[in-house]
Amino acid sequence: MQFLKGVGPNRAKLFAKLKIEIVQDLIAHFPFRHQVQGAPQPINTLTAGESATVIGHIVDAKLTGRRWKESVLALIEDETGECEIRWFNAAYMIDRLATMRRRPVRVHGRVRDVDGVAQFVNPRIEPAEDAAWLGADKDADARTDTGKPSGRALRARTVEQVSSGAVERHAGGGCCAGPSSGLPMPPAEGSRQKAEGRGQKQTSDQPTRGAHSPAAEKERLEPVYRSVEKLPSRAIAGVVQQALPQALREVEELFDDAYLSSRTLARRRSAIERMHRPTSLDDIPIARRRIAYDELFLMQLAIAMKRNHTLTVDRAIALPSSDAIDARIRRRFPFTMTSAQGRAVREIAADLARPRPMNRLLQGDVGSGKTVVALYAALVAIANRQQSAIMAPTEVLAEQHFHNVEKYLEGSRVRRVLLTGRTTAKQRTAALKAIDAGEMDLVIGTQALLEKDVTFRSLALVIVDEQHKFGVAQRGTIRSRGAANVLPHYLVMSATPIPRTLSMTVFGDLDVSILDELPPGRQPTKTFWAGPKGYADVWTMVKQRLAAGEQAFVVYPLVEESATMPLRAATREVEHIAKNVLPDSTVDLLHGKMTGKKKQEVMERFARGETQVLVCTTVIEVGVDVPNATVMVIQHADRYGLAALHQLRGRVGRGDRPAVCALLADKAGPLAQRRLGILCATTDGFRIAEEDLRLRGPGEILGTQQHGWPELRVANLIDDADLLDLAQRDALTLVRKDPKLAAPANAALRRELIARFRHRLAWIDVA
């Protein structure tokens, strides 16, 4: 990038922040929208309060005001008159305007009225001849109507008035017209001839006032790019326009004409060009469809090739089950599995019995019983004299898993251990020795399992809970701990339901098992949200529940108060809750900055019922299971995403009593109201996940760096669901015919696939 004209080493570093390192990255950095600039209009038709575009010449410019209130004031004129342009805190514009003398310029921005004079404030300005890729012709004369209701007509100073000295320039930098009405004033009859009669005959170096290229008479579509500080969209647009012609010559078409025609797809080179410089608004959806298809197809192609490799090349230890093993495992659970759990168990058992690695996603709503299914899978592996590992993202969740395992395996011969950052050095040394010797059957832990000194004798099954909370490299590390020349089976659990389109992309290489029902006896949680006027009623309800022997969570978004975020914090509010709001109840505090030991002590007191109210942060989002907790109060609920709110709500309603979740919001804007309304209307995690995807996008839900796939720059998993289906069908068909893309006709596709995923191919199987 640094060798492109106008870039250099320093600006190349700014481009790198946008992941633009080579020219191919640059032309793949598409505008996220196009701003329509209306056709240029005569200066004497400008209207206050509206955006407008004019073409003319700069006739004067100067710096005004004092240092702390500096501004640049310029005058631009065309054949109908003259108006002002003002830039605040932009002294550099003086030098830039000097380079534009004697050249037609294009100015676009909002117009205001300053003492009856039209003035642009901080507008965009550029040489008019640079606008070589303008859209369809518009009739500029049709823009002369000044009776628009959204603004009021301004009087424009005519060229004649300027030439005759009727304009007075004030010391303060303001400009005003001489005697005139407040109506738009056309140029005086024969003004140009009079000017020429005063010796101002035009030459090739002194262009006619207002003269500009035919392109300047057209409506313009200005690309707006995602940018970073010190590298604005305009600067990116300039570099793109300079590099695009040469870059387009290097673009390869991936498909033949018949393929494109049958799918109504534009040619690739044309689509890229029209995304950056459309000739009309109609170009954009056509170009966007082709770019979106390429993104989705290449991702689906990579997924299909990986799945094919797993089926035909990768090997794992077969872990067959039997009726006897199944019955022995089921006796460990003091309840009958739901039909959904039974279906998931059968799917997992079938995968484990094969000599190829299982790659399966187990997803279900909060409280649907995923831990039971995961433990069943682990016990199948152990029944085959192999080791299993369960990895959780937090100590709280790991300890919760271990607690449940201890409960179900009481009296069992299964050897198990918990390995976290809190494990003492002595305990850790003993555990590592036992794991390496194959004397430990089930290992449950956090990132501590990723340490280099953790070695397994025969790891055959890896279970990762809430895997999107781990980095791609971390998930790859745990999978590499299997025996030589074989991969462990891999089961991913998620309490955040995955929308269908997301499971086809980010989790597209995984088979999916869904737990879509809750265990018998679970009561749905009633949810409502309240503003400040309803807070008193909420606390009255909480007191009644506590008096009935139930327990409550009160969640805050911050641990400590912040100078930049005017939000209440848990450490500050816990005293207020204990003394003023719920003075007759026992109140405790839990947050992520506590030591592991302290957090465990707090949770154990709450689980035993010694604490009635737990004031906390989102540290309780996953892994907390207290059946007697029936009340959830979430402060500043408008600041959370849908998925986080749904996860927090899932901490209550885990027993046989009906639960309630109160969402408190001091101020909720339209988007926040929509989120809260969705949560109040349904407890269906899959519907909530779809809405969350629609509102926030996959990058925010999963974290782009966490899921390991390139960002979808153009495709939208909600709006392009049909295109995703088409891309998936096409990719599967191609891989069945040419699994390694070895055919000459697919050479361009192979090169593009490698270029697109050049840093990620190693992680496709764990992403």
The mean pLDDT of the chain is 81
CA distance 195 to 79: 12
Q: Ranked by mean pLDDT, which of 355-364, 422-431, 434-443 comes out on top?
A: 434-443
Residue 713 confidence (pLDDT)? 85
Residue 480 confidence (pLDDT)? 63
Q: Tell which wins on pLDDT, 306 or 233.
A: 233
Count CA within 13 A, CB hemisphere, residue 163: 22
Summarize the confidence of residues 354-373 as an average pLDDT.
88
Q: Tell which wins on pLDDT, 142 or 432.
A: 432
CA distance 339 to 352: 20
In the structure, what pLDDT confidence band is assigned to residue 213 with cuts at 50, 70 and 90?
A: very low
Residue 163 confidence (pLDDT)? 34
Q: Ranked by mean pLDDT, which of 215-224, 515-524, 582-591 comes out on top?
A: 582-591
Q: Ranked by mean pLDDT, which of 160-169, 391-400, 694-703 comes out on top?
A: 391-400
The closest of 268, 277, 269 to 297, measured between CA atoms, is 268
In the structure, what pLDDT confidence band is assigned to residue 173 with cuts at 50, 70 and 90?
A: very low
Residue 698 confidence (pLDDT)? 56
Residue 364 confidence (pLDDT)? 83
**370-383 vs 339-352: helix axis angle to the nearest 10?**
30
Q: Ranked by mean pLDDT, which of 357-371, 512-526, 688-702, 751-765 comes out on top?
A: 357-371
Residue 218 confidence (pLDDT)? 64
What does the DSSP 8-state code read for residue 43?
Answer: G
Residue 137 confidence (pLDDT)? 33
Q: What percent of the chain has pLDDT over 70?
A: 80
Residue 484 confidence (pLDDT)? 62
Q: Is the pLDDT of residue 278 over 90?
A: yes
Q: What is the identity of the amino acid at 525? A: T
Give the β-pairing of 442-445 and 387-391: parallel
CA distance 434 to 33: 59
Q: Is the pLDDT of residue 432 over 50?
A: yes
Q: How many CB atoms lie within 10 A of CB 195?
A: 17
Residue 198 confidence (pLDDT)? 33
Q: Ranked by mean pLDDT, which of 44-58, 518-532, 746-760 comes out on top?
A: 44-58
CA distance 118 to 105: 17
Region of poorest pLDDT, from 271-275, 324-328, 419-423, 580-584? 419-423
Summarize the confidence of residues 213-228 as an average pLDDT.
73
Token pair for 257:
């004409």
In the structure, what pLDDT confidence band is assigned to residue 622 with cuts at 50, 70 and 90?
A: low
Residue 114's contacts (CB-CB under 8 Å, 6 or more residues apart) are 84, 174, 175
The closest of 682, 679, 648, 691 to 367, measured between CA atoms, is 648
In the structure, what pLDDT confidence band is assigned to residue 129 with cuts at 50, 70 and 90?
A: low
Region of poorest pLDDT, from 232-246, 261-275, 555-569? 555-569
Residue 220 confidence (pLDDT)? 77
Write out pLDDT tens, residues 452-461.
888 899 999 9
Q: What percent of the chain has pLDDT over 90?
A: 45
Residue 162 confidence (pLDDT)? 35
Cite the beta strand spans of 507-598 per DSSP E. Answer: 511-515, 525-530, 551-555, 587-590
Q: How many CB atoms lie within 10 A of CB 695?
A: 16
Give the β-pairing of 613-616 and 551-555: parallel
Q: Tell which wins on pLDDT, 717 or 526.
A: 526
In the structure, what pLDDT confidence band is assigned to residue 346 with cuts at 50, 70 and 90?
A: very high
Q: Tell which wins on pLDDT, 132 or 670.
A: 670
Q: Tell which wins on pLDDT, 179 or 363.
A: 363
Q: Is the pLDDT of residue 702 over 70?
A: no
Query: Residues 243, 244, 250, 254: is their CA dihedral positive or negative?
Result: positive
Q: Is the pLDDT of residue 695 over 80?
A: no
Q: Is the pLDDT of residue 171 over 90?
A: no
Summarize the confidence of residues 559-570 as an average pLDDT.
83
CA distance 422 to 405: 19
Count CA within 13 A, CB hemisphere, residue 180: 25
Residue 27 confidence (pLDDT)? 94
Q: Is the pLDDT of residue 434 over 90?
A: yes
Region of poorest pLDDT, from 183-197, 280-294, 304-318, 612-626? 183-197
Q: What is the identity of the amino acid at 487? A: L
Write out pLDDT tens, residues 233-267.
888 998 999 999 999 999 999 999 999 999 999 99
For residues 78 and 43, the answer to whether their CB atoms sit within 8 Å is: yes
For residues 634 and 663, the answer to whether their CB atoms sit within 8 Å is: yes
In the structure, what pLDDT confidence band is assigned to residue 594 with cuts at 50, 70 and 90?
A: confident
In the structure, what pLDDT confidence band is assigned to residue 538 with cuts at 50, 70 and 90?
A: very high
The closest of 374, 371, 370 to 382, measured between CA atoms, is 374
Q: Is the pLDDT of residue 149 over 60?
A: no
Token pair for 78:
């065309």
Q: Ranked by mean pLDDT, which of 20-29, 149-158, 362-371, 708-717 comes out on top?
A: 20-29
Region of poorest pLDDT, from 177-191, 276-290, 604-618? 177-191
Residue 503 confidence (pLDDT)? 67
Summarize the confidence of residues 213-224 as an average pLDDT.
66
Summarize the confidence of residues 100-123 as an average pLDDT.
90
Q: Tell which wins on pLDDT, 759 or 181.
A: 759
Summarize the confidence of residues 461-478 as an average pLDDT.
66
Summarize the confidence of residues 399-408 as an average pLDDT.
90
Region of poorest pLDDT, from 103-107, 187-191, 253-257? 187-191
